[in-house]
């Protein structure tokens, strides 16, 4: 679509910017009360009343044009980069009418860049209810820009906003807010002259931000540095005096235009909720109750849809094998691709439920309270209150959780959070644990109420949290911090979750999971299928020849003969050969070559384990019937000793390996994407593998 004008949305976090974006464009996206959720640059199109089309760009929420995080730095670079043509024709600044003072700081900064501006005065209903009276006309007149009162949640004032966008002036008419030149008089003038910049505030921002701006060449950046030294420019001092000047302007403006009632803010609903939710005792009880509820929901609500999906794929498999002639192609589709697909799709209910619940917690504002409550504990172990959200999210999947660490401003805190998040027991480990626990732990109750299998599973989850905390604590001493940590964070007022948004998050995350993890899992299934269906040299032909001799065909039933041939072929396939190669390495952990194949294939994704076990131990397909996998593994015996393969020691050793090893290609990829340095995922892979190997080794020898 070709747009006639480009409009950027700019505003503080929690001002309803994303909600407005959704209304204007009709294109939905993830939004939350948790500061900094809007990360990527989102764009959409909006039909204006005069028939033209506007391209709407949603910029990350920020309190100031001076960035405190990677996301926030996008705002200024979009507004300043004339060369790339990213600069919008018009900026819509969204202000929270119930919290104008702090919101106006960003407005004054944006206004001084002298790009045409329209102000959307959002949450006008909330502010009216609170008794705040805003003289909108006088406000607009003083700023020199159109001001439109709206309520994005209640979809009020949107048409008027669209009209205002359509008829907005092409030249910036806003009043100056502060005297920019006086902050750094000669420096600003010289940068303006050397770089041919009309706008003094843009010149001042280049002085402040030249080190991080992508569109400046190193030579240009060095030259600005030189000028700064020449004029004794001190970035922080300049910013401090600028901020004070801006708030002076804001206080003058609000004095004439806004009347606030003298009510005690303690009485607000949000404060009453906070008294309970951040209470010394109840606060933690409620937090742990919510966590328990999330786990319960993940396990119990997903049981039915999960078995439905499993059955669907089993039916599909049998349909294919019945209707199509047997051969390598059918085998590839049925045992390779469909088995792999089923392994992906079966996790969708769990992922959807977890993300729905997390998005409700973010949307209501509760997540920032959790951050507030947990900061002290988290800081002791080298993390940050804001690390709580990724760690909880890690129970579902490390990939989106690692992405959500972006709103941790402190570099060291963020890196430690990224490094330990994959230790948290993600949903992909769940099938591995349930399978192995069911195999070796008796289904009995201890102390009447606690099921032993349930306890074993709880222990695995606790272990994951404890290990993440211990590793974080160790890393606190290893990593050298380049900056100091701080924790200045808005506690937004509680709000009802936006259900549409929750539903969209569920859909969006599940879709991402299916496509991202799905690609890997299907690829692995196909590779694994090839590796176990073909062998080096003429080994397969030899096997066929051996077993076609009368001494076998006469004495054995066709069924058991097929089984013997299949397992002989597996041992002589590429996968079998490979398993034998690594067997010496994993033998001290109690694993044989068959488990070795499962381990290797699980390095792409843990979910592959059950399917691999099924294909290795099964002869007749049925790859995803848990019951039958379990039975087959139960019956598996060591050919040398005749004893069962899966003893308590082996099963727990295997669980330890899955608990600690970095068996997830998607996580490795996302860690690289977030850190932009291969050494991070490499170090993570190395330490996790070492941890996995030693934990398995110890557990195996303790339980043997």
Partner 1 sequence: MRLSQLEVGEIGIVKEFTDLEMSVKLMEMGCLPGEEIKISRIAPLGDPIAIHVSGYQLSLRKFEASTIILQ
Burial of residue 62 (CB within 10 Å: 0-12, 13-18, 19+) is: buried
Shortest distance in whole angstroms from residue 279 CB to partner 1: 7
Does 372 engage in binding with partner 1 (CB under 8 A)? Answer: yes
Give the 3-state DSSP-derived string for 522-572, with helices as H, strands as E and coil as C. Answer: HHHHHHHHHHHHCCCCCHHHHHHHHHCCHHHHCCCCHHHHHHHHHHHHHHH
CB of 294 to partner 1, least distance (A): 21
Question: Contact between 376 and partner 1 (CB under 8 A)?
Answer: yes
Considering beta carbons, is residue 66 or 433 the nearer one to partner 1?
A: 66
- What's the token pair of residue 482? 């380049």
Minimal distance, residue 377 CB to partner 1, in Å: 7
Q: Count residues near partner 1 (CB under 8 A).
A: 46
Report the DSSP pairing between strands 117-122 and 90-96: parallel
- Residue number with CB closer to partner 1 (198 or 267): 267
- Looking at the Cβ atoms of 258 and 582, the one nearer to partner 1 is 258
Specify the stretch interacting with partner 1 by CB under 8 A; choose among 17-25, 336-344, 368-376, 398-406: 368-376
Please provide the DSSP assignment of 416-456 as one string.
HHHHHGGGS--TTHHHHHHHHHHHHS-S-EETTTEEHHHHH
Of the candidates 512, 565, 515, 576, the one whose C-alpha atom is nearest the C-alpha of residue 543 is 565
Q: Is 85 exposed, middle or buried (0-12, 13-18, 19+ CB in 10 A)?
A: exposed
Enter the tokens of residue 295: 């786990």
Q: Does 494 bind partner 1 (CB under 8 A)?
A: no
Nearer to partner 1, 96 or 568 (CB): 96
In the bound complex, what is the minimum distance in angstroms from residue 236's beta carbon to partner 1?
A: 5
Please report how close the Cβ of residue 600 comes to partner 1 at its closest, in angstroms. 45
User: Which residues have CB under 8 Å from 411's CB, separation 6+?
Assistant: 481, 482, 483
Q: Of 273 and 526, which CB lies nearer to partner 1 in the complex structure?
A: 273
Binding of residue 125 to partner 1 (CB under 8 A): no
Residues from 413 through 452 that contact partner 1 (CB under 8 A): none
Cα torsion 668, 672, 677, 680: sign: negative
Closest contact distance (angstroms) between CB of 33 and partner 1 is 13
Contacts of 688 (CB under 8 A, 6+ apart): 422, 423, 660, 661, 662
Q: What is the DSSP letter of 96?
A: E
CB of 245 to partner 1, least distance (A): 11
Q: Is 7 helix (H, G, I), strand (E, B) or coil?
A: strand
Asked whether position 284 contacts partner 1 by CB under 8 A, the answer is yes
For residue 57, the SS3 value is: strand
Q: Does 344 bind partner 1 (CB under 8 A)?
A: no
| Smallest separation, CB 405 to partner 1 (Å) | 19
Stretch near partner 1 under the rule CB under 8 A, chosen from 58-66, 199-207, 296-304, 694-702: 58-66
Helix (H, G, I), strand (E, B) or coil at 28: coil
Segment contacting partner 1 by CB under 8 A, of 53-61, 169-177, 271-279, 662-670: 271-279
Site string for partner 1, 555-584 (x = CB under 8 A): ------------------------------
The torsion region of residue 637 among left (phi > 0), alpha (psi -120 to 50) and beta comes to beta
Chain residues 187-216 in contact with partner 1, contact rule CB under 8 A: none
**Two tokens at 71?**
């996301």
CB 111 within 8 A of CB 177: yes
CB-based burial label for 295 (10 Å; 0-12, 13-18, 19+): middle
C-beta of 54 vs 100, nearer to partner 1: 100
* Residue 66 contacts partner 1 per CB under 8 A: yes
Per the CB < 8 A criterion, the answer to whether 391 and 401 are in contact is yes
Residue 283 touches partner 1, criterion: CB under 8 A: yes
Taking the complex as a whole, the smallest distance from the CB of residue 485 to partner 1 amounts, in Å, to 9
Query: Interface with partner 1 includes 490 (CB under 8 A)?
Result: yes
Beta bridge partners of 605: 664
SS3 state of residue 6: strand
Interface region with partner 1, contact rule CB under 8 A, candidates 36-44, 270-278, 342-350, 610-618: 270-278
- Compute the least distance from the CB of residue 97 to partner 1, in Å: 11
Separation in Å, CA 32 to CA 63, 67, 524, 528, 610: 16, 20, 35, 41, 35
Q: Does 288 bind partner 1 (CB under 8 A)?
A: no
Site string for partner 1, 236-255 (x = CB under 8 A): xx-xx--xx--x--------
Query: Does the footprint of partner 1 cover residue 482 (CB under 8 A)?
Result: no
486 binds partner 1 (CB under 8 A): yes
Q: Cα–Cα distances in Å, from 343 out to 309, 346, 432? A: 10, 6, 12
Cβ atoms of residues 703 and 652 within 8 Å: yes
Segment contacting partner 1 by CB under 8 A, of 22-30, 93-101, 537-545, 678-686 = 93-101
DSSP 117: E
Q: Are strands 133-134 and 258-259 parallel, antiparallel or unpaired?
A: antiparallel
Nearer to partner 1, 34 or 685 (CB): 34
| By the rule CB under 8 A, 289 interacts with partner 1 | no
Of 384, 365, 364, 373, whose CA–CA distance to 279 is shortest?
373
Kindly tell me which of 487 and 552 has the beta carbon lying closer to partner 1: 487
Instruction: Decide: is 220 part of the binding site for partner 1 (CB under 8 A).
Output: no
In sign, the C-alpha dihedral spanning 638, 642, 645, 649 is negative
Contacting partner 1 (CB under 8 A), which of 265, 482, 643, 676?
265
Say whether residue 229 binds partner 1 (CB under 8 A): no
**Interaction between residue 271 and partner 1 (CB under 8 A):** yes
* Centroid of chain to Cα 224: 37
Nearer to partner 1, 326 or 488 (CB): 488
Q: Does 64 bind partner 1 (CB under 8 A)?
A: yes
Question: Which one among 43, 278, 331, 628 touches partner 1, defined by CB under 8 A?
Answer: 278
- The distance of closest approach from Cβ of residue 64 to partner 1 in the complex, given in angstroms and rounded to an integer, is 5
Stretch that binds partner 1, among 92-100, 313-321, 640-648, 670-678 (CB under 8 A): 92-100
CB of 105 to partner 1, least distance (A): 6
CB 387 within 8 Å of CB 629: no
Task: Locate 331 and state its tokens.
Answer: 């085998």
Q: Which is nearer to partner 1, 100 or 345 (CB)?
A: 100
**Site pattern 98..117 for partner 1 (x: CB under 8 A):** xxxxx--x------------
Rounded least distance, CB 150 to partner 1, Å: 19
The three-class DSSP label of residue 488 is coil
Cα–Cα distance measured from residue 139 to residue 135, given in angstroms and rounded to the nearest whole number: 6
Q: Stretches 3-11, 63-71, 162-170, 622-630: which one binds partner 1 (CB under 8 A)?
A: 63-71
* Residue of 82, 129, 154, 275 interacting with partner 1 (CB under 8 A): 275
- Least distance from partner 1 to the Cβ atom of residue 240, Å: 5
Q: Would you say 255 or 447 has its CB closer to partner 1?
A: 255
What is the closest distance, in whole angstroms, from the C-beta atom of residue 197 to partner 1 in the complex? 24
Q: How many CB atoms lie within 10 A of CB 605?
A: 23
What is the binding site for partner 1 (CB under 8 A)? 63-64, 66, 68, 98-102, 105, 236-237, 239-240, 243-244, 247, 260, 265-266, 270-271, 274-275, 278-281, 283-284, 368, 372-373, 375-377, 385, 484, 486-493
């Amino acid at each position: 679509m070709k747009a006639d004008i480009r409009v950027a949305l700019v505003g503080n976090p929690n001002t309803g910017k994303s909600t407005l974006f959704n209304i204007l464009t009709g294109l939905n996206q993830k939004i939350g009360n948790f500061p900094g959720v809007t990360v990527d640059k989102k764009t959409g199109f909006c039909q204006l009343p005069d028939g033209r089309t506007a391209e709407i760009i949603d910029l990350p929420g920020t309190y100031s044009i001076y960035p405190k995080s990677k996301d926030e730095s996008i705002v200024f670079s979009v507004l300043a980069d004339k060369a790339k043509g990213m600069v919008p024709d018009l900026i819509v600044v969204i202000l929270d009418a119930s919290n104008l003072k702090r919101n106006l700081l960003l407005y004054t900064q944006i206004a001084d860049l002298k790009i045409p501006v329209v102000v959307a005065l959002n949450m006008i209903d909330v502010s009216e209810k609170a008794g705040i009276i805003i003289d909108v006309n006088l406000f607009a007149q003083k700023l020199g820009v159109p001001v439109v009162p709206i309520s994005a949640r209640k979809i009020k004032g949107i048409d008027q906003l669209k009209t205002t966008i359509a008829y907005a002036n092409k030249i910036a008419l806003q009043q100056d807010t502060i005297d920019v030149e006086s902050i750094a008089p000669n420096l600003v003038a010289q940068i303006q002259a050397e770089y041919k910049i009309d706008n003094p505030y843009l010149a001042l921002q280049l002085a402040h931000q030249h080190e991080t701006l992508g569109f400046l060449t190193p030579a240009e950046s060095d030259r600005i540095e030189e000028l700064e030294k020449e004029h004794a420019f001190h970035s922080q001092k300049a910013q401090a005096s600028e901020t004070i000047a801006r708030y002076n302007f804001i206080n003058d403006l609000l004095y004439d235009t806004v009347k606030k009632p003298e009510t005690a803010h303690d009485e607000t609903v949000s404060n009453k909720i906070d008294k309970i939710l951040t209470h010394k005792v109840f606060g933690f009880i409620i937090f742990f109750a919510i966590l328990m509820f999330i786990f319960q929901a993940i396990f119990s609500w997903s049981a039915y849809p999960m078995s439905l999906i499993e059955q669907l794929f089993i039916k599909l498999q049998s349909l294919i094998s019945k209707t199509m002639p047997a051969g390598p192609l059918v085998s590839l589709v049925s045992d390779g691709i469909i088995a792999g697909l089923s392994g992906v799709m079966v996790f969708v209910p769990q992922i959807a439920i977890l993300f729905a619940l997390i998005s409700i917690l973010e949307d209501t504002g509760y997540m920032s309270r959790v951050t507030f409550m947990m900061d002290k504990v988290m800081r002791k172990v080298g993390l940050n209150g804001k690390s709580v959200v990724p760690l909880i999210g890690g129970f579902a999947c490390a990939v989106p959780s690692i992405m959500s660490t972006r709103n941790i401003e402190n570099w060291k805190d963020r890196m430690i959070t990224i490094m330990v998040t994959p230790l948290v027991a993600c949903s992909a480990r769940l099938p591995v644990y349930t399978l192995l626990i069911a195999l070796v732990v008796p289904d009995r109750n201890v102390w009447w109420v606690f099921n032993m299998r349930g306890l074993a599973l709880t222990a695995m989850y606790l272990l994951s949290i404890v290990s993440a905390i211990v590793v974080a604590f160790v890393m606190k001493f290893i990593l050298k911090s380049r900056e100091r940590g701080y924790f200045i964070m808005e506690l937004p007022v509680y709000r009802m979750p936006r259900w549409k948004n929750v539903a969209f998050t569920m859909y969006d995350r599940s879709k991402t999971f299916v496509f991202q993890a799905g690609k890997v899992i299907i690829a692995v299934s196909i590779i694994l299928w090839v590796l176990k269906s073909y062998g080096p040299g003429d080994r397969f032909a030899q096997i066929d020849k051996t077993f076609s001799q009368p001494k076998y065909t006469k004495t054995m039933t066709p069924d058991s003969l097929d089984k013997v041939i299949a397992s002989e072929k597996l041992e002589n396939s590429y996968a079998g050969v490979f398993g034998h190669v690594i067997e010496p390495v994993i033998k001290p952990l109690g694993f044989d070559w068959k488990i070795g194949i499962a381990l290797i294939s699980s390095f792409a994704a843990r979910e592959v384990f059950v399917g691999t076990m099924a294909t290795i131990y099964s002869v007749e397909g049925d790859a995803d019937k848990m019951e039958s996998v379990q039975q087959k593994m139960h019956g598996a015996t060591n050919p040398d000793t005749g004893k069962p393969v899966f003893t308590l020691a082996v099963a727990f050793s295997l669980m330890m390996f899955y608990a600690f090893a970095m068996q997830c290609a998607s996580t490795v990829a996302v860690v690289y994407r977030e850190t932009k340095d291969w050494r991070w995922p490499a170090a993570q892979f190395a330490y996790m593998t070492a941890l996995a190997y030693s934990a398995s080794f110890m557990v195996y020898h303790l339980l043997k």
